[in-house]
């Protein structure tokens, strides 16, 4: 669920923190704090990704679901990264889904 609060003046996400202050100021009005609750799905395999998530606290897990229905975690993303860049390409994240295995927030 997206809150009405704007992202903080100082980004908790390390990737956003690397931006020049002027670049972050241009991006900031478009960011919203999103609480992550376990086990929240941020996007599902093969579906169009609607948002990009900059993890601030907590962790995102990339999960691959195999043909037999079993799932395996293939990667984790923390406050050093971003998930959902495929959204800019308007394609689904083929074969992988992303979930929040730990409570946290994103911008």
Lowest mean pLDDT segment, chosen from 11-20, 21-30, 41-50, 95-104: 95-104
Q: Which CATH superfamily is domain 14-106 in?
A: Jelly Rolls (2.60.120.10)
pTM of this structure: 0.74
**CA–CA distance from 7 to each of 16, 51, 54, 107 (Å)?**
11, 15, 11, 6
pLDDT in tens, 86-101: 666 655 555 566 666 6
pLDDT of residue 3: 44
Residue ranges of domains in the chain: 14-106
């Amino acid at each position: 669920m997206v809150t009405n609060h704007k992202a903080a003046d100082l980004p908790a996400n390390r990737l956003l923190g690397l931006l020049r202050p002027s670049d972050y100021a241009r991006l900031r009005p478009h960011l919203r704090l999103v609480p992550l609750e376990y086990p929240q799905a941020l996007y599902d395999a093969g579906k169009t990704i609607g948002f990009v998530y900059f993890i601030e606290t907590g962790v995102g897990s990339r999960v691959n679901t195999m043909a037999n229905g079993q799932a395996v975690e293939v990667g984790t993303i923390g406050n050093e990264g971003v998930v959902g860049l495929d959204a800019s390409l308007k394609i689904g994240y083929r074969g992988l889904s992303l979930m929040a295995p730990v409570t946290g927030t994103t911008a």
